Chain A
């Protein structure tokens, strides 16, 4: 349990948000040309990182907007919050 700083509403309880999982998984540009392996990679395979993870959240019980978060999954500390479409901060790898 932690607080998330929504870029639109400010700091709110995590229970107001819904997790959208790993961020920056690019939707295939030409789905018809994807092989089964590539589909599996896109649909199911996840980094599932212990450490610094880039992820999406939706302020579902608030402004209902999506945004990105950088969070350390080993201690739930949020390191950065940035809007959809913005480049991920480069100082976290």
Chain B
């Protein structure tokens, strides 16, 4: 790495009032032609470019981003990372990502502030208890750490939860994945951008894709707001806008794009040192290093690209938060925002080739893509470089909607939606 960050570089730059830090990634104009182009400069797209350059030795790569890198869902999520999914295919995919997270700061020489503070999923009725216990067993068979906690243990692990049996949805227990946690979302995009740029990847911001040029059944390049760029490998990682790109080549995807909201409170002293999720009442909360409560709400029920979301969704989430944590009743919320998430019918992602040669899609992450960022990039890079999926993403192909071999994580795996 050209400009390795270390305690020495920190001291050296402190002596010059931090005025001589070099730009972390370049700002090039697009070349005429690339070996591969990644559409979408979020965490997944930048990670894909990073692993294409690092592991598959492609050097002439561009990442096109219509806004600024990490300005979409990468910068809008609630940063939760976990791998406690029910089905084998999902467990493989998400735990692959979690293992990469555990070493990501060292790998990128960039502090992504990965904090394994644990993620607890609450059960509020008998069916929740059965489902979550089943998932705990399935996780352990797949080598993923998971424990079941009874109500007293939940209270001990997170004392501010109201475990009274008198509330509308009492806490009957929960599962805990201790290796799970959070990370700084912007740092993930910036770290991958810096790493990729260092290996010669062109990161081109403010460049929107307007069309895909095809010759028969293969791609030849992209029409963009910065002109035509030739390539014969296109990896689309456009999250909520995946269908928009797919429509350019007449391809329909099994996706619906919906606003998903989050909000943060005013900063307070440390009060919750873990992540608590509850799907039944739809509330999840953690605390950022700045002290804000980070609260995730649900998706709207309708297709929309507005990055706002409805007020009633926030209202329902906050009702649930207040019942579970009466201590927050006088907290003020500071900011609310929405991101557009692309949801698959089976709540599992698509990392797949298409029937057009050289066109690959990585989409359908829905409400929970952030946690998979490193794994998603690694596996998508493998798929693009080899024109063949890795065994960990083979099940997440586009054809599963035809064959019926779905990876149904909707109700099964504590997927919040």
Q: Give the B-binding residues of A (Cβ under 8 A).
A: 1, 14-15, 18-19, 21-22, 36-37, 39-41, 43-50, 53, 55, 73-76
Q: Roughly how many angstroms separate A77 CA and B295 CA in the complex, as a whole number?
A: 28
Q: Roughly how many angstroms separate A67 CA and B412 CA in the complex, as a whole number?
A: 32
In contact, B345 and A44 (Cβ under 8 angstroms): yes
In contact, B310 and A36 (Cβ under 8 angstroms): no
Task: Tell me, yes or no, whether B373 is within 8 Å of chain A by CB.
Answer: no
- The A-contacting residues of B in range 317-346, CB under 8 angstroms, are 342, 345
In contact, A18 and B256 (Cβ under 8 angstroms): no
Q: Which residue of B lies closest to A53 (CB)?
A: B303
| B 288-328 binary contact with A (CB < 8 Å = 1; else 0) | 00000000000011111110111110000000000000000
Q: How far is the CB of A13 from chain B (nearest CB, A)?
A: 8
In contact, B254 and A44 (Cβ under 8 angstroms): yes
In contact, A48 and B311 (Cβ under 8 angstroms): no
Task: Tell me, yes or no, whether B347 is within 8 Å of chain A by CB.
Answer: no
Q: How many A-B residue pairs have CB under 8 A?
A: 72
Contact flag A44-B401 (CB < 8 Å), given A55-B302, A55-B303, A76-B304? yes
Q: Give the A-binding residues of B (Cβ under 8 A).
A: 241, 243-244, 247, 252-257, 300-306, 308-312, 342, 345, 401-404
Contact flag A47-B241 (CB < 8 Å), given A1-B311, A55-B302, A76-B306? no
A-B contact pairs, 20 of them (CB 8 A): A1-B308, A1-B309, A1-B312, A19-B300, A19-B302, A22-B303, A39-B402, A40-B401, A45-B254, A46-B243, A47-B243, A47-B247, A47-B252, A48-B253, A48-B256, A48-B257, A49-B243, A50-B241, A50-B305, A76-B308
Q: Which chain B residues border A50 with CB–CB below 8 Å?
A: 241, 243-244, 257, 305
Contact flag A36-B303 (CB < 8 Å), given A44-B345, A48-B255, A48-B257? no
In contact, A74 and B305 (Cβ under 8 angstroms): yes
Q: How far is the CB of B34 from chain A (nearest CB, A)?
A: 26
Q: Which chain A residues border B256 with CB–CB below 8 Å?
A: 21, 46, 48
Q: Which chain A residues border B252 with CB–CB below 8 Å?
A: 41, 45-47
Given contacts A55-B303, A73-B305, A74-B305, 5 further A-B contacts (CB under 8 A): A19-B302, A21-B256, A36-B403, A47-B247, A50-B257
Q: How far is the CB of A86 from chain B (nearest CB, A)?
A: 21
Contact flag A48-B303 (CB < 8 Å), given A36-B403, A37-B402? yes
In contact, B301 and A18 (Cβ under 8 angstroms): yes
Q: Which chain A residues border B241 with CB–CB below 8 Å?
A: 50
Q: How far is the CB of A81 from chain B (nearest CB, A)?
A: 14
- From B306, B310, B402, B404, name the one whose CB has the most chain A CB atoms within 10 angstroms: B402
In contact, A36 and B254 (Cβ under 8 angstroms): no
Q: Roughly how many angstroms separate A39 CA and B404 CA in the complex, as a whole number?
A: 10
In contact, B243 and A73 (Cβ under 8 angstroms): no
Q: How far is the CB of A17 from chain B (nearest CB, A)?
A: 9
In contact, A15 and B310 (Cβ under 8 angstroms): yes
